[in-house]
Structure 1
Amino acid sequence: MKRAVIVGAGIAGLATALRLGRDGWHVLVVERAPGRRSSGYMVNLIGPGYDAAERLGLLPALSASQLGLFTTVLVHADGRAKFTVPAAIAEAALGERAMSVFRGDLETSLYEAARDLADIRFGTTVVSVEQDTDRVRVEFSDGTTEHADLLVGCDGVHSATRTAVFGSDFVVDSPYLVAAFPLDHPVPGVPESSATTFIGPGRTAAIVNLGPQRSSAFFTYRCADPGVDLRRGPVDALGAAFGDLGGGVPEAIRHLEKDPDNAYFDAVSQVVMPRWSTGRVVLLGDAAWCVTLFAGHGAALALAGADHLGAALRRHGDDLPAALAAWETGLRPEVSKRQALARRGMLQYAPPSRFHVWINDLTMRAITLPGVSNLVRKGIERANR
């Protein structure tokens, strides 16, 4: 029986464990965190991500957690509405094969599906990695050692696996910070089944109200020194960057004070590598190709990457180099496209000037016009193929 070690029990790691486990591999997953994470921000599964979720058998479990579509209200700094983008516009743009869920619900579905197919160890890290043509030897912080056919690094943008095996020169930082977190209850001032979104020079704040346990907040802003704000923590940093806003923003930040660790709060960085594998070690998900939240396809690409990796390994049998080469060749064009879209997306989420805000508003207003929405839908369909 072939053996695989997977580092990281997030979406990429659990999806890989699920796919390889179903294909008959003996799978060990190690995760630095002491236990499962149940929170997280909203993710969209469209295109290859939706297809992968379907092939992995996740759709029935995820259907109960689906968030559905909602109206977007663009607002002024004080919370007054500028204009509304109907939910029908998003529905036309995304198409029928799309699903929006919280990251925590996706991870839960993956964990429930994978836990009987893999040995999952929490509170465990990799101490050393050695490999030859036949095996990879992995030593863990709990004192155990595993000899495997394949090591898969799924430990995120700050991947220790990538640093240990490939080096540390692949992270491309940008002067932006992003925060996203769930809300236990709707924020006052945000209409039901809608999101209020403020977009100003260098920053965006969005509050989504889909009811109790189904609401969330998203913030991003340009920052001269992201490291300073990261050390301050999300509550202080967001308060300083968005404290002048109305429209539910102050209430969302006060909500975060109860549990600051419940937020995803990090610098916006991409990972750009010439190769995602070397020998018997391969990186997958954000560890290999982080596209950032600006791209909106991180979870979808993680699912697709895991599913396609399993397919390539099965197709090429014992020829691991051929399998990894074919997998990367098939996936890289989509990743490159999403990374390029993310770089352009920075101008939408953090416009450099009031003029750029005005142009963005004009574009979004135009989308609501008769006939234009169909053109947008067709364009997004082409982008998601």
Structure 2
Amino acid sequence: MTKEEFAGARGGRTARRVIVVGAGIAGLAAALRLRQAGWRPLVVERAPARRKGGYAVVFSGVGAAAAGRMGVLPALQARHVGGFDLAYLRADGRPRFTVPRPTVGRLLGDGGLALLRGDIEAVLYEAVRDQAEIRFGATVTGVRQDAGGVDVTFGDGSSERADLLVGADGLHSSVRDLVFGPEEHFRRDLNHVVAAFTLDRLPDGMPERAFSTITAVGRTFTVADLGPGRHAAFFTYGTADPGAELAKGPRRALRQAYPGFGWTVPDLLADLREEDVYFDSVSQIVMDRWSRGRVVLLGDAAWCLSLFAGYGSSLAVGGADLLGAELERRPDDVPAALRAWQTGLRQEVTERQRKGRANTGVHAPRNRLELLLRDLPLRLATFPPVTGLLSRHLSFHDT
């Protein structure tokens, strides 16, 4: 892609250069939105190729509104599974109770899209791939900035100068480490571990178009069916030492954490390919500021709501859209635009993180009482007053 293809006719100047680190949802959304704002994006991604699959999410709210403004909402809607059931099972796979899809639809509200994380990434990638330079297998090893720009050094020894650096490289952000300080200064562990991977086929006996869940004290297992070729398994469990669990690797850790689970769990763990598994601690990133000079963090690198909060994919796309809007308002003062952007997001991020810390018992009940308190309103969810209560107080979005 030539310089002329990226050049923007803004006051006779060449389009400003932005380097986006991370080709996940936040990074691709930022590259697309800033390209639409007249910037010239370079996206660098540590992985050798685009990752696919991931766990199931409900994409809604500020994310759906932003996707509409960015022109990608129709492509996301085309991947939406439509209605689905919430099927709660016993440890051996026998049914306990089901929340039917019409009720689930009312819980989600208007505009909620059931998707795999990989669906969102794929749509964003297709939208931006011909409008941005994307380098896979690239790492960032150094960042230096001055009043006029930011210099980024890559793992191969090369460097680039840009007007803006966006760190959208996830929970374990290298940009955050280089510019703001070590991860341990900002990470708040919620004492749980999550594993997620896509499936080639649905397990035998599983209902179609359903999120089927087995829950025991401190442990949850879910299989999500989002249509042909779009199935995912999801494990989360409590632990006093997430680091020790991660050191075991997903196969050993999950086998030890899920004794007595029947149905498809033993077969899935026996055939598990560790290289295909997302396996990490459930954590939040809590920071006083997400920007410094001409460097800004976005998505999980900045706030990581955690899966207990939900809404991470939606807020990543919404945050990218707002970032582009603030830079359009203040094209000649990048630091001021970044400060305004942060002010616009701070309240919602703080509230979503608070909900995440409070929702641990919903996703992985710590005792039998929490399990009962989670199940009782779900069993009664078909009654309209209960449906309204659940939609306000439980996190069904982006889980």
Shorter chain as normaliser: what TM range?
over 0.9
Paired residue for 1:245? 261
Paired residue for 1:282? 296
Q: For 2:266 and 2:148, locate their aligned partners in 1 and report how far apart those are by CA, in whole Å.
A: 57
Find out whether 1:28 has 2:42 as its counterpart: yes
Give the partner amino acid of 1:143.
Answer: G
Counterparts in 2 of 1:1-385, with a 5 A limit? 1-168=15-182, 169-255=185-271, 257=272, 259-377=273-391
Contact (CA 8 Å) 2:44, 2:136: kept in 1 or not? yes
2:79 counterpart SS class = coil
Cα displacement string for residues 326-380 of structure 1 (whole angstroms, at most 9, x for unaligned residues): 1111111111111111111111112121122112121222323344224444667
Give the partner amino acid of 1:318.
Answer: D
Q: For 1:290 and 1:125, locate their aligned partners in 2 and report how far apart those are by CA, in whole Å.
A: 21
Cα displacement string for residues 178-220 of structure 1 (whole angstroms, at most 9, x for unaligned residues): 1111111111131222222122211111122345412211110
Q: For 2:82 and 2:262, locate their aligned partners in 1 and report how far apart those are by CA, in whole Å.
A: 26
Contact (CA 8 Å) 1:10, 1:107: kept in 2 or not? yes
Q: For 1:43 and 1:364, locate their aligned partners in 2 and report how far apart those are by CA, in whole Å.
A: 19
Question: Which is further off, 13-22 or 78-87?
Answer: 78-87
Contact (CA 8 Å) 1:135, 1:280: kept in 2 or not? yes
Q: For 1:181 and 1:265, locate their aligned partners in 2 and report how far apart those are by CA, in whole Å.
A: 9
Flag the 1:112–1:209 CA change in 2: closer, same or farther, 3 A. closer
- Normalised to the residue count of structure 2, the TM-score between the two structures is 0.91
Question: Which is further off, 97-106 or 12-21?
Answer: 97-106
Deviation at 1:301, TM superposition (A): 0.9
Q: For 1:11 and 1:253, locate their aligned partners in 2 and report how far apart those are by CA, in whole Å.
A: 28
Flag the 1:338–1:317 CA change in 2: closer, same or farther, 3 A. same
Contact (CA 8 Å) 2:81, 2:227: kept in 1 or not? no
Q: For 2:126 and 2:156, locate their aligned partners in 1 and report how far apart those are by CA, in whole Å.
A: 25
Cα displacement string for residues 85-128 of structure 1 (whole angstroms, at most 9, x for unaligned residues): 11112211222212121111211111111112211111111121
Question: Which is further off, 363-372 or 278-287?
Answer: 363-372
Question: Which is further off, 366-375 or 108-117?
Answer: 366-375
Q: For 1:11 and 1:210, locate their aligned partners in 2 and report how far apart those are by CA, in whole Å.
A: 19
Aligned residues: 381
Flag the 1:270–1:134 CA change in 2: closer, same or farther, 3 A. same
Gaps of 5+ in 1: none
Give the partner amino acid of 1:239.
Answer: R
Give the partner amino acid of 2:334.
Answer: L
Q: For 1:68 and 1:203, locate their aligned partners in 2 and report how far apart those are by CA, in whole Å.
A: 28
Flag the 1:295–1:379 CA change in 2: closer, same or farther, 3 A. closer
2:54 counterpart SS class = coil
- Normalised to the residue count of structure 1, the TM-score between the two structures is 0.94
Give the partner amino acid of 1:321.
Answer: P
Deviation at 1:251, TM superposition (A): 3.2
Could you tell me the percent identity over the aligned residues?
Answer: 51
Question: Which is further off, 7-16 or 135-144?
Answer: 135-144
Give the partner amino acid of 1:331.
Answer: L
Contact (CA 8 Å) 2:79, 2:115: kept in 1 or not? yes
Flag the 1:228–1:375 CA change in 2: closer, same or farther, 3 A. closer
Deviation at 1:166, TM superposition (A): 0.3
Q: For 1:43 and 1:183, locate their aligned partners in 2 and report how far apart those are by CA, in whole Å.
A: 16
Contact (CA 8 Å) 2:377, 2:390: kept in 1 or not? no
Contact (CA 8 Å) 1:74, 1:196: kept in 2 or not? yes
Cα displacement string for residues 135-164 of structure 1 (whole angstroms, at most 9, x for unaligned residues): 111111222221111111011000011011
Q: For 2:203 and 2:42, locate their aligned partners in 1 and report how far apart those are by CA, in whole Å.
A: 41
Question: Which is further off, 238-247 or 39-48?
Answer: 238-247
Question: Which is further off, 153-162 or 205-214?
Answer: 205-214
Q: For 1:242 and 1:369, locate their aligned partners in 2 and report how far apart those are by CA, in whole Å.
A: 34
Q: For 1:156 and 1:356, locate their aligned partners in 2 and report how far apart those are by CA, in whole Å.
A: 31
Give the partner amino acid of 1:23.
Answer: A
Question: Which is further off, 62-71 or 233-242?
Answer: 62-71
Question: Which is further off, 58-67 or 107-116?
Answer: 58-67
Q: For 1:232 and 1:44, locate their aligned partners in 2 and report how far apart those are by CA, in whole Å.
A: 30
Contact (CA 8 Å) 1:190, 1:208: kept in 2 or not? no
Contact (CA 8 Å) 2:381, 2:387: kept in 1 or not? yes
The CA RMSD over aligned residues, in Å, is: 1.9
Contact (CA 8 Å) 2:56, 2:114: kept in 1 or not? yes
Contact (CA 8 Å) 1:182, 1:213: kept in 2 or not? no
Q: For 1:345 and 1:96, locate their aligned partners in 2 and report how far apart those are by CA, in whole Å.
A: 23
